């Protein structure tokens, strides 16, 4: 089987990755979302749970066997060593599951949604193109406060564990500035979709 044309989609917390990936899915792209995979790995009986229990202890596990996300978030974003340990458990499993999902998810071309694409070395070699979702940091902060009910300080601590806007811009082939009217953003997404079809060698009337 020949390898499908693939795009790595990234952006900072709250930039709009999921919103925009959903728009591409509406045009027929296959979406493999590494955040969703990370959630599956840490749900009750998730593949990562035995290692998380043994490394972090029972206080990080909910009664149903899932990871206690709030407690873990508070722990790892104030403690870089703990964050690296959690990543060492999760990232190899995320990679494995991502590769499997890439084989089995149907769609015209593949979009990998990867929050830490800029930070984690070898994605450049794994995809044909990188799409960055960008927006003002103040907008990111406001969105995450509103959506997750975190404090401004907590959101800033997460942003400090991520690449800067400048670092992401440096790896981008395409950028969507997602800080305005979603109708205009949808138009931009459609233009990029047509460009990706062309780069993938798929006639536009097949979608
Ligand atoms: C720290 C955890 C427990 C927080 O859980 P929570 O439910 O609050 O957030 P969620 O998982 O939905 O992630 C939301 C966003 O946080 C940011 N984020 C998550 N993990 C990290 C990380 N290791 N470094 C920097 N930012 C991160 C990303 O922007 C992500 O989109 C969780 O994110 C986690 O298990 N992280 C480790 C796995 C990982 O690196 N995931 C991100 C890439 S796949
Ligand atoms: N252009 C926009 N205008 C207004 N609200 C938006 C826009 N884009 C996204 N949002 C809202 O901002 C929030 C964050 O968007 P989304 O979940 O798509 O971001 P994300 O990058 O996937 O977030 P995370 O990094 O936390 O996974 C959501 O509540 C979403 O509805």
**Which ligand approaches the C-alpha of residue 38 most closely?**
1
158 lines ligand 1 (CB under 6 A): yes
**Residue 69 to residue 123: CA distance in whole angstroms:** 26
- Report whether residue 94 contacts ligand 1, using a CB cutoff of 6 Å: yes
SS3 9: strand
Task: Say what the pLDDT of residue 207 is.
Answer: 53
Question: Which residue intervals of the chain bear CATH 3.40.50.300?
Answer: 1-29+107-207
Please tell me the distance from the alpha carbon of residue 104 to that of residue 98, in angstroms, as a whole number: 10
Element (H, E) at 176: strand 174-177
Looking from the CA of residue 19, the nearest atom of ligand 2 is 18
Which residue, chain included where needed, has tokens 């799409």? 131
Q: Which of 132, 117, 102 is nearest to 5 (CA)?
A: 102
DSSP count for the chain of H helices, then E strands: 10, 5
Output the DSSP codes for 132-169.
EEE--HHHHHHHHHHHH---HHHHHHHHHTS--HHHHH
Spatial contact of 29 and 8, defined as CB atoms under 8 Å apart: no
> Does the Cβ of 34 fall within 6 Å of ligand 1?
yes
The CATH H-level superfamily of 1-29+107-207 is: P-loop containing nucleotide triphosphate hydrolases (3.40.50.300)
**Cα 40 to averaged position of ligand 1 atoms, centre (Å):** 13
Residue 8: burial class (beta carbons within 10 Å; 0-12, 13-18, 19+): buried
11 in a known ligand binding site: no
- Check residue 128 and give its pLDDT: 97
Q: What's the rounded Cα separation, in Å, for the pair 85 and 106?
A: 33
Crossing angle of the two packed helices 80-104 and 34-41, in degrees rounded to 10:
110
Q: Given the DSSP bridges, would you call strands 129-134 and 6-11 parallel, antiparallel or unpaired? A: parallel
pLDDT by residue for the chain (207 residues), tens only, comes to: 458 999 999 999 999 999 999 999 999 999 999 999 999 999 999 999 999 999 999 999 999 999 999 999 999 999 999 999 999 999 999 999 999 999 999 999 999 999 999 998 788 899 999 999 999 999 999 999 999 999 999 999 999 999 999 999 999 999 999 998 999 999 999 999 999 999 999 987 655
Write down the pLDDT at residue 1: 46
User: Which one of 8, 12, 13, 16 would you pick to mutate in the ligand 2 pocket, going by the greatest count of ligand atoms within 8 A of its CB?
Assistant: 16
Ligand 1 contact via 73 beta carbon (within 6 Å): yes
Q: What size, in residues, is the chain?
A: 207
Take atom 33 of ligand 1 and give the residue whose Cα is closest: 73
Q: Around Cβ 86, how many Cβ atoms within 10 Å?
A: 23
Backbone angles phi, psi at 154, to 5 degrees: -65, -40
């Amino acid at each position: 089987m020949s390898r499908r044309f693939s795009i790595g989609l990234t952006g900072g917390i709250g930039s709009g990755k999921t919103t925009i990936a959903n728009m591409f899915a509406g045009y027929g792209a296959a979406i493999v979302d590494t955040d969703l995979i990370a959630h599956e790995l840490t749900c009750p009986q998730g593949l990562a749970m035995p290692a998380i229990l043994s490394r972090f202890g029972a206080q990080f596990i909910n009664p149903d066997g899932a990871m206690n996300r709030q407690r873990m978030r508070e722990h790892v974003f104030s403690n870089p060593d703990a964050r690296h340990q959690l990543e060492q458990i999760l990232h190899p499993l995320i990679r494995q599951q991502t590769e499997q999902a890439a084989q089995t998810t149907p769609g015209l071309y593949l979009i990998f949604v990867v929050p830490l694409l800029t930070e984690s070395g070898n994605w450049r070699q794994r995809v044909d193109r990188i799409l960055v979702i960008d927006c003002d940091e103040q907008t990111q902060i406001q969105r995450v406060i509103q959506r997750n009910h975190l404090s401004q300080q907590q959101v800033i601590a997460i942003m400090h564990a991520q690449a800067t806007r400048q670092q992401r811009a440096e790896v981008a082939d395409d950028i969507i500035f997602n800080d305005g009217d979603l109708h205009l953003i949808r138009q931009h997404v459609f233009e990029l979709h047509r460009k990706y079809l062309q780069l993938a060698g798929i006639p536009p009337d097949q979608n």
